[in-house]
Structures are given as structure tokens and as C-alpha cells.
Amino acid sequence: MDLTRRQFLGSSAAAAMTAGVVSRKVLGANDRIRIGVAGVRGRGNSVAGGLNAVDDNVEIAALCDIDANILENRANEWEENTGSRPTTYRDMRDLMADDSIDVVAFGTPNHWHSLGTMWGIENGKDVFVEKPMSHNIWEGRQIVEAVKDRDVIVQHGTQRRSDRRWIRSMERMRDGVIGDIYMGRAICFRHRHSIGFEPITEPPDHIDWTLFQGPSQERAYHGNYVHYNWHWFFEYGNGEVGNQGVHQTDIGMWGMNKGLPVRVYSAGGRYGYEDQAETPNTQTSVFTFADGTKFVFDVRGRYTYHEEGMNVANYFFGSDGYMAERDFYDTDGNEIDDEDSDAIDAVAEISTGNHYQDFINAVRSRDKSMIHGTALDGHISSTICHMANISYQLQRELVFDPASELFVDDDEANSHLMRKREYRPGFEVTAYT
């Protein structure tokens, strides 16, 4: 199935994909939005539920998954709960070719996020893509370029972008409530157990292993890849820093408001057990911006407790005070109240407070200013995670050029930025730069 799928469902469709000329169906304010969801075991099923709940004119019309058992079970559940059975697809290319689908949403493993998003864009569909937006830095930039000057809505699944308290907190920091920010910090303490060791076997009949791998390199199957532990293998996932952690890097970059950093150093390891996984369960990353300010990200997956009552949080430190997970304090530790009622009320005009509703509103209006978590936002927050992992893998500090999105005079580090020459035929992410 490498390439064919009837040569991606016909040469005319492939030509349209390559040229990027497939136009989207224009939706009126009251038209029904038909959504197809790819990857429906866990997070994708939650996304489907969230999108389906926003209003009566939204329908989960199609489901796609490489696991036949999960696909059948989810279709049965939707039929039982809604009275309507979604169309089911094993191959995402069949979903993309369904002209009745207006929106595609992705809850697939990370290595599929960029390719699925590209296919959606090129087939004239709006896209809700779960975090991280990309599996590597080069892929993320291609999505950013692809959405420019196109009538397409792409929203990244970092839902704090729709959180009114976070929106107001960012406004307050921009207004200088804690002075000049010199450092951001994030923590992600999630107790992760050993995944053990699984033997190499033939994949079970209900799993299409070729489609699971998609754009990745060919690997032999073992049970730790399917269905959740792929997170802990670099070929398919990005470790905890690119799992839960991308939410914290997104807030960090949103708050620091400096674009991409110019240096990164990341160190850690997989502590407390030996197992089959590759990514660290403990990782500390220090990012330095061009002005010398820092963002520090601490991931801990072993022997962790709820320091300060929180195990996942963001902090910002300024010349006149600090912010700890949306609460502000002066330099003496006294809480700084927000008494600007007009500004608080105005936040309601920016976001509904519901990430899925904000996305659907943007789809209906075609107003890109209504997107909460743009392709560029998703690219920056995901790039931070990728930079950390590259430094961790190379075990040294790296110097980065935000303009070119390349490491400076470092061929070894730059070889980790992209896989564009290593995609399997038929599963390439298209270059748009």
C-alpha cells in the first residue's frame, strides 16, 4: 500500500493535491458542518465529542482508524448515541477524498499530524489538529506556509488559547503588571510507569501496520507501539516534552512573546527502570532568547509530587513581580488583584471560552482572526519541544537561527530538523517554502 491507494484515488485527485487547487465548499451560517475524525481510540474520540457538542448543525460524519476493532466500536457507539452511523475508513486517503466532509480533525499519533493536516488543506478541508502540530521542525514550517493566502481554517489543539483567564493573564503581562519579564518556567510532572519490553511479532490482523507507520520509516511491529506507548519512541512520538509538555511550551512562548529562542540545552534520561522506550522520563531544558532572557522547562516522570499544589503549571518572573499559573504577585509575594472590569468583560468578546466552539465559529465565518491557536502558534510551541529533544539526543547545547529555523553551522543538529528525504513513497509532506 506504499503509494498506490489506487495512486491516491486517481491521477486527477493527485494532480489537484500537488497543485493545491482543490477548493473548499462554501458554508452558509446555518449549513451543517460535516466532520471526519482520524485516530479515534483516545484523544481523537474526545475531540470528536467536543466538536459534536458545540451546536446542532455539527455532525461527526466519518471516522477513520487503522485499527478495525476500534473503528467498529466507535462507529457503534456514535450510532447508539446519536442515531446516525458515521462512514468508516481505514485509510486516511479515503477520508480525504470524501467531498461531503468539510472538516477533518486529527487524534492520530504525532508523526501523522503534519501529513494529515497537509492532505486536509490540499483537499479543501478545514483542519483541527491535535498537539503537537508537527513531528519535526521542517514539517511545521510547511503547514505555516501552506495556510498563507489560502481560505483555510487550521486550529491547533492547545486549548488554553481559548481559556478566558489565560487570555486575560496574557493581556495583563503585556500591560506590564509584573514589569519586564526576564524568565519563564514550566513544569510537567506526570508519573509514568515502565512500559516493559514487547517482542517483535507480526501485527494482529485488525491493525493495518503499513498505515500506522505512514510517513515514518519502516519498523518491525511490537506491542509497545500500539496504541499509546508510541509517545515514547522518537520515530512516532516526541516524549513527554511533546505530549503534555507542548501545552506548557505554548503558554511559555505566548507569555514570553519573543518568537523562537537562539540557544537550547536539554539534559535528562530514563530513570528508575529499564524498558523498551527511547524518550527521557526526566528532562530539563533551558532556552535562551536573543535578548538573554530564559525559558526553563522541567519534565519529570518519576518519583514526583505536587510541588506548590501543582504538577503541571507555568510561571513568569518580572522586574516588579511574578505570575504563577494565572495568579499574579508583587515582589513581596502579595497577590495583585485585577480590578479592570471593562478589560475582563472584553475578554468574552475575544473567545467563547470553548476551544471547539471557537474553531467552529472560525469555520463558519471564514475569519482567521477568530482562530485560537493558529498554525504559527502551533509551529512555535512544537518547535520548542523539537529543539529540546534534539539537544537531548545530541547531549550538547545548540545554537539556533530563528530566521532560517536552522541550527548555526551544525550539520549534525540540522539533520534532525526534517525527514523530507526519508518519507516513504506516497506519504511525503509537501514542501511549501
Instruction: Sort 104 into a burial class: Cβ within 10 Å, 0-12 / 13-18 / 19+.
Output: buried
Decide if domain 5-159+357-371 falls under CATH 3.20.20.70: no
Q: Return per-residue pLDDT of the chain as tens, 433 residues.
A: 344 454 444 433 444 444 454 566 666 666 899 999 999 999 999 999 999 999 889 999 999 999 999 999 999 999 999 999 999 999 999 999 999 999 999 999 999 999 999 999 999 999 999 999 999 999 999 999 999 989 999 999 999 999 999 999 999 999 999 999 999 999 999 889 999 999 999 999 999 999 999 999 899 999 999 999 999 999 999 999 999 999 999 999 999 999 999 999 999 999 999 999 999 999 999 999 999 999 999 999 988 777 667 799 999 999 999 999 999 999 999 999 998 989 989 999 999 999 999 999 999 999 999 999 999 999 999 999 999 999 999 999 999 999 999 999 999 999 998 766 688 889 999 888 5
d(CA 20, CA 119): 10
d(CA 417, CA 407): 9
Give the pLDDT of residue 271: 95
Which residues, 6 or more positions from 218, have their beta carbon under 8 angstroms from its beta carbon?
424
For the chain, the domains span: 5-159+357-371, 162-352+380-414
The class level of CATH for 162-352+380-414 reads: alpha beta
Phi, psi of 283 (to 5 degrees): -155, 130
| Degrees, nearest 5: CA angle 391-256-280 | 30
User: Which residue bears the cell 471557537?
Assistant: 358
| Degrees, nearest 5: CA angle 167-111-69 | 105
Phi, psi of 428 (to 5 degrees): -85, 140
Give the pLDDT of residue 22: 59
d(CA 121, CA 127): 7
The structure's pTM equals 0.93
d(CA 195, CA 225): 10
Closest to 261 in 3D by CA, of 397, 412, 115: 397
Give the pLDDT of residue 84: 94
* Amino acid letter, 422: E
